[in-house]
Chains A and B, each alone.
Chain A
Amino acid sequence: MSEPIVKISGLNKWYGEFHVLRDVDLAVQKGERIVICGPSGSGKSTLIRCINALEEFQEGEIVVDGIELGPNLKHVDAVRREVGMVFQSFNLFPHLTVLDNCTLAPIWVRNIPKKDAEVTAMKFLERVKIPHQANKFPGQMSGGQQQRVAIARALTMNPKVMLFDEPTSALDPEMVKEVLDTMVDLAEEGMTMLVVTHEMGFAREVANRVVFMDAGQIIEANTPNEFFAAPQHARTKLFLSQILR
């Protein structure tokens, strides 16, 4: 087995006195799709936010593509250039057009000339199937469209890993599918993905591994078939019985 692209070892995090992440170990191979699920407050969002240093942590180590990220958060910028992120609430920049949203980081972080950045951005907007909306403002689009723009925006930086923090939780039921379809396309192209979601259909279809978290720890990790057919831990069984009816 080759060196994992994301390697989390002995990760511990406290919010004040509250122990949010407890001894988390996780290794993600290149091209692997991991779905992280669990009850709310189980630390799954916090875990993936640690990977691109949006949250600091007190103990442990994260290595992304050979770049070390310790508790002192050195190399933050280098790691963030490798990792793209999609948020639950889209977080598009409302004062910029869709196209400007997608060219901002390439221009200001990678110093790419504006013309080239726009060509690249249009390529990714076509991939998420909204090139004709490039000159609209985010506020003029539906939630599903906004989330697809957010995916395109993250892709313009050519990340090696994509993090999804409940990407469909803020969407109307009708729009969930268009976003999930985009994510499936992305997975088929071989992107390494860590997805926090409650969409168990997506997990079954796309994931290589499903990780179940509770109380800040990984309770169970397995292939989707094994995970859904034969959960081992009592807590996993309870969780699945709650969400799968």
Chain B
Amino acid sequence: MSDVISSSFVRQDLLAERPAPVKTTGFIGLMRTRLFNSPTNILLTIVGALLLWFTIVPSVKFLLVDAVWSGKDRTACLAENAGFAVGACWPYIQAKLPQLIYGFYPEAERWRVNLTLLLAVVLLLPLLIPRLPAKSLNAGLFFVAFPVVAFFLLHGGGIKGFGLSWTAGLLQLFDESIVGAGQALITSGRTSAVGPLLWALGSLIVLLGTLIHWLIFPLTWLRDYLQGTGQPVWADFAVTAAIVCLIAFALGGGVRTGGRALASSIATFIGIAIVIRLMDLDHGGLPIVTTNLWGGLLVTLVVSVTGIVTSLPIGIALALGRRSTIPLIRIFSIAFIEFWRGVPLITVLFFATYMLPLFLPGNFTVDGLVRALIGIALFTGAYQAENVRGGLAAIPRGQSEAAAALGLSWWKTTSLIVLPQGLRHVIPNLVNSFISLFKDTSLVSIVALFDLLGSLRASFADPKWSTPSTAFTGFAFAGIIYFLFCFGMSRYSLFVEHRLNAHRRN
């Protein structure tokens, strides 16, 4: 090398653009860089393709190609009539669809179910779309007003009184149970060795009960008076509305700032009045449809939506309780969580349905569906508690210290700083539990509630539609329904996660 290497350089001609020698974009590029770029990947690609071939092709063949699309009964779906090996028998689903959606809900009343579902969608959709305004009003309507309206729509029935009567009734029940307990103690005192002690204690409790009886006497008297008027519901409504509005006015800050609270409580009561009037609740309301007639998708949705909506607050409360510094609350939370997590859901449902009535006092009954709902809510709540606790544990102590240093109370620190961050960490886990709850609702069929799957299995028994492919068609249909709901929840949770974690993207 005799050439002198020059350190200065000036380009004379600019280079033209050339295509890449190896294509890395498009389908060919994908094959080259991802699918067939190494022996392992070639093997995996072939195995994957085979798997797809053996699952998708038969499914499409069964659900679409070989399916029978119309017919009046089983004969349409038999191979000898159709002329080929029949896949899915869709006319069967078509014929059974009302049963799969409503169960044994009386046909004449099914508009009520439709109206409830429509209301749910109308209220839920705007809640799920972040861009739309008035979130707190919307949430209030969906979480507080809708359940009440849905109850009177689906179940029917009316009301005999309002807030005042209910308060008086509850207090009276409470008082009667105190007196009852006292009298039981006095009775057992006659036979026991520590008789005088029990007698004294019982007398004391009865005395207390009598005292309470006279304390609440003005309330019960007012109730009986209102019940005596011609329009007990409306009289009671007026009194309750006046009392609550006054309290809201006073709590809102009186003459200076209470106007807003007063206006919103008056608006609430006007809304309640309209609902009572529209649904005729003061005259017995809609005809009652007892819950043992409910079924199908209706039960599945009622159980899962109630479970989802109630289990999260229960879970948050238990998770906070488990981290509490007050021993009694902590021990209660731990015991509660561990108990419900340690018991299978089937046991819980079985216990709630068949054994709980044995323990409850004779005249005290709870509806079967409600028992199952409570069981599922508490069960899922315990699981959610552990999910939430995981999120809370991820928040550094400095966060609550900083909030405390700014003068925020424990409640405000928890609700503004700790929970918002903690829950964001565990959105995938929370939704995981929701999805599993949605599918677990099918277990209620074990306690004589006919959910979607239960109604489906009941429909298999119909000889009119008994064909070799009936069961397969039914399960395929139910599977598609379950998948649509669960996949919807999953996608929505991804969207929420992405949106709420904006602060973690740099």
A binds B: yes
Interface residues of A (CB under 8 A from B): 52, 54, 77, 80-81, 83-85, 87, 89, 91-96, 104-105, 108-109, 137-140, 150, 153-154, 157
> B75 near A: Cβ within 8 Å?
no
> B406 near A: Cβ within 8 Å?
yes
Within 8 A of A (CB), among B392-431: 396, 398-399, 401-409, 412, 416-417, 420-421, 424
Q: Is the CB of A153 within 8 A of B406?
A: yes
A94 contact set on B, CB distance < 8 A? 421, 503-504
CB within 8 A of B407: which of A80, A91, A96? A80
B424 contact set on A, CB distance < 8 A? 95
CB within 8 A of B406: which of A96, A137, A157? A157
- What CA separation (Å) do A13 and B457 show in the bound complex? 69
Q: Is the CB of A80 within 8 A of B502?
A: no
> B506 near A: Cβ within 8 Å?
yes
Q: Is the CB of B405 within 8 A of A108?
A: no
- What CA separation (Å) do A139 and B506 show in the bound complex? 7
Q: How many residues of B contact A (CB 8 A)?
A: 23
Within 8 A of A (CB), among B480-506: 500, 502-504, 506
CB within 8 A of B399: which of A93, A105, A140? A93
Q: Is the CB of B402 within 8 A of A87?
A: yes
Per DSSP, chain B at the interface is helix
Within 8 A of A (CB), among B419-445: 420-421, 424
Between A and B, 14 residue pairs with Cβ closer than 8 Å are: A54-B404, A54-B405, A81-B407, A87-B401, A91-B398, A93-B399, A93-B421, A94-B503, A95-B421, A104-B406, A105-B408, A108-B412, A140-B506, A157-B407
Taking the nearest CB of chain A, how far is it from the CB of B412, in angstroms?
A: 5
Taking the nearest CB of chain A, how far is it from the CB of B188, in angstroms?
A: 45
B403 contact set on A, CB distance < 8 A? 93
CB within 8 A of B405: which of A84, A89, A138, A139? A84
Q: Is the CB of B405 within 8 A of A95?
A: no
Interface residues of B (CB under 8 A from A): 396, 398-399, 401-409, 412, 416-417, 420-421, 424, 500, 502-504, 506
Given that A94-B421, A139-B503, A139-B506 are contacting pairs, would A80 and B398 also be in contact in the complex, using a CB cutoff of 8 Å? no
Q: Is the CB of B417 within 8 A of A93?
A: yes
A52 contact set on B, CB distance < 8 A? 405
A105 contact set on B, CB distance < 8 A? 406-408
- What CA separation (Å) do A92 and B401 show in the bound complex? 11
- What CA separation (Å) do A84 and B402 show in the bound complex? 10
Q: Is the CB of A139 within 8 A of B504?
A: yes
- What CA separation (Å) do A77 and B115 show in the bound complex? 51
When C-beta atoms are compared, the residue in chain A nearest to B409 turns out to be A77
Q: Is the CB of A104 within 8 A of B506?
A: no
- What CA separation (Å) do A92 and B405 show in the bound complex? 12
Given that A108-B412, A140-B506 are contacting pairs, would A95 and B406 also be in contact in the complex, using a CB cutoff of 8 Å? no
When C-beta atoms are compared, the residue in chain B nearest to A138 turns out to be B503
Given that A80-B405, A91-B398, A109-B407 are contacting pairs, would A137 and B421 also be in contact in the complex, using a CB cutoff of 8 Å? no
Given that A91-B398, A140-B506 are contacting pairs, would A80 and B416 also be in contact in the complex, using a CB cutoff of 8 Å? no
Taking the nearest CB of chain B, how far is it from the CB of A188, in angstroms?
A: 24
Q: Is the CB of A80 within 8 A of B420?
A: no
B405 contact set on A, CB distance < 8 A? 52, 54, 80, 83-85, 87, 154
- What CA separation (Å) do A91 and B402 show in the bound complex? 6
Q: Is the CB of A109 within 8 A of B421?
A: no
B401 contact set on A, CB distance < 8 A? 54, 87, 91
Given that A80-B405, A105-B408 are contacting pairs, would A87 and B398 also be in contact in the complex, using a CB cutoff of 8 Å? yes
Most interface-central of A81, A109, A150 (chain B CB within 10 A): A109
CB within 8 A of A80: which of B406, B421, B506? B406
Taking the nearest CB of chain A, how far is it from the CB of B382, in angstroms?
A: 27
Q: Is the CB of B502 within 8 A of A108?
A: no
Given that A93-B399, A137-B503 are contacting pairs, would A108 and B408 also be in contact in the complex, using a CB cutoff of 8 Å? yes
- What CA separation (Å) do A234 and B416 show in the bound complex? 49
Taking the nearest CB of chain B, how far is it from the CB of A102, in angstroms?
A: 10
Most interface-central of B396, B405, B502, B506 (chain A CB within 10 A): B405
Taking the nearest CB of chain B, how far is it from the CB of A86, in angstroms?
A: 9
- What CA separation (Å) do A108 and B416 show in the bound complex? 9
Most interface-central of A89, A94, A137, A157 (chain B CB within 10 A): A94
Taking the nearest CB of chain A, how far is it from the CB of B65, in angstroms?
A: 51
- What CA separation (Å) do A84 and B31 show in the bound complex? 61
When C-beta atoms are compared, the residue in chain B nearest to A83 turns out to be B405
Taking the nearest CB of chain A, how far is it from the CB of B194, in angstroms?
A: 41
When C-beta atoms are compared, the residue in chain A nearest to B417 turns out to be A93
- What CA separation (Å) do A108 and B414 show in the bound complex? 13
B396 contact set on A, CB distance < 8 A? 89, 91
Q: Is the CB of B506 within 8 A of A154?
A: no
When C-beta atoms are compared, the residue in chain A nearest to B406 turns out to be A105
Taking the nearest CB of chain A, how far is it from the CB of B403, in angstroms?
A: 8
When C-beta atoms are compared, the residue in chain A nearest to B397 turns out to be A91
- What CA separation (Å) do A93 and B405 show in the bound complex? 13
- What CA separation (Å) do A104 and B413 show in the bound complex? 10
B504 contact set on A, CB distance < 8 A? 94, 139
B503 contact set on A, CB distance < 8 A? 94-96, 137-139
B407 contact set on A, CB distance < 8 A? 77, 80-81, 105, 109, 157
B399 contact set on A, CB distance < 8 A? 91, 93
- What CA separation (Å) do A203 and B273 show in the bound complex? 70
